Structure 1
Amino acid sequence: MKTIITFGTFDVFHIGHLNILRRARALGDRLVVGVSSDALNLHKKARLPVYLQDQRIRIIEELKCVDEVFLEESLELKADYIRRFNAQALVMGDDWRGRFDHFSPLCDVVYLTRTPTISTTSIIETIKQN
């Protein structure tokens, strides 16, 4: 059984999120998703997510393509998460290309092309302007 792992905030869930999760799942038999905690999001993006971590986890858990969800509490623990779930591949969007290559001794690292013209940041900005 090939386990795929990926990580994200998944705030203001959109078609780009669904596309990458479905494509990640197609690469293996099991998809495990780490959802960034509110505190981690505040640390890395200097803002809280629109939706709280429990709500974001619930959304991801309900997707047919996702087999297991956990709370990602620290960027420094990614290697531990990969080991804990015995992941054979780490999948991330290509906007992160090269930034996770150091995990290649633990598993395959795959960067998938993002859905063009959509991002959570641009959605939030559009909402603010309207």
Structure 2
Amino acid sequence: MVIIVIRESKQKWKGDFLQDKKTVITYGTYDMLHIGHINLLKRAKALGDYLIVGVTDENYDRSRGKLNVSESTKKRLKAVEALDFVDMVIVETHKNQKAEDMVKYDVDIFAIGDDWVGAFDYLNEYTHVEYLPRTEGISSTKLRKENFDKIKLGIAGLGRDTIAFIDEAEYVSNLKVNRVYADDFLAVKAFTKDNERIKYGHDNYDDFLDTGIQAVYIDTALEEHYLLIKKALEADKHVLCENPLALDKDQLNELLSIAKKRGLLLL
């Protein structure tokens, strides 16, 4: 039976049944679980006796710019849980959790794919780090490209996170960002001038929404979020917005209700 741990109080981990067994831990997103994931997990299990798998939480993924995950945390957890050679599944929620887990679960080996060679050497302070070969020719990114149409996304606002978002979007498969809106015409003109990635600029939000974009990323002043999100949802656009989505509970509930009725994503 696989154990799923969402939150667990600190306690001595290795009881009698694990006292003489080697514990291995690994982490991943495991989006659209495929043979490459399974092969890597089997290689990790072969290093020891008890395999713990950390699945990244969707909020943690978004916080580190991983915007192209297609499946929910719950669905990805269930997929990994169904593997009969996995002994425990936990949720990874923050950057420092790996080091914490090494101590918490008295881990003997931390295993990860060799595309991360060197990135986790610092964990040798807590356990032995092993980089494992990946299966060539298969990845979640490739599957998303083969199975999903390209999403056209526009950016509303020229906030402090706009450039970072555009940079991160370059690494998101099936996502095309080439349009921006701001109510300052001169700012829009300056931003799009000689910009190889953002070809189109708008200073009218209705005109911006009346294009081929399917989703909107909003990075504006907080007091503008509610109206911009509402208009985007009513134009049948998915919305990704910096927190908070709205400044009061009634507005938030209204936005969530609109998104649900129209079958749209609001993140």
Which of the five TM-score ranges fits, normalised by the shorter chain?
Answer: over 0.9
Q: Distance in 1 between matches of 2:130 and 2:112?
A: 6
Q: Distance in 2 between matches of 1:39 and 1:100?
A: 22
The more displaced of 110-119 and 39-48 is 39-48
The answer as to 2:44 corresponding to 1:36 is: no
Letter in 2 for 1:60: V
Q: Distance in 1 between matches of 2:68 and 2:114?
A: 24
Determine which structure has greater relative contact order: mean sequence separation of CA pairs < 8 Å that are 6+ residues apart, divided by chain length: 1
Q: Aligned residues: percent identity?
A: 36
Aligned to 1:120: 140
Q: Distance in 1 between matches of 2:99 and 2:61?
A: 19
Aligned to 1:101: 121
The answer as to 2:45 corresponding to 1:25 is: yes
Aligned to 1:10: 30
Give the count of matched residue pairs: 130
> Equivalent residue of 2:112, what SS?
strand
Give the superposition deviation at 1:128. 2.5
Q: Distance in 1 between matches of 2:58 and 2:97?
A: 16
Stretches of 4+ aligned residues off by more than 4 angstroms = none
Match of 1:91 among 96, 107, 111: 111
| Alignment root-mean-square deviation, CA | 1.4
Give the superposition deviation at 1:33. 0.5
Match of 1:49 among 69, 78, 81: 69
Q: Distance in 2 between matches of 1:48 and 1:121?
A: 8
Contact preservation (8 Å) 1:87, 1:107: yes
What are the ranges of 5 or more consecutive residues in structure 2 without an aligned counterpart?
Answer: 1-20, 151-267
Give the superposition deviation at 1:44. 2.2
Q: Distance in 2 between matches of 1:51 and 1:32?
A: 21
- TM-score, normalised relative to structure 1: 0.94
Aligned to 2:237: none
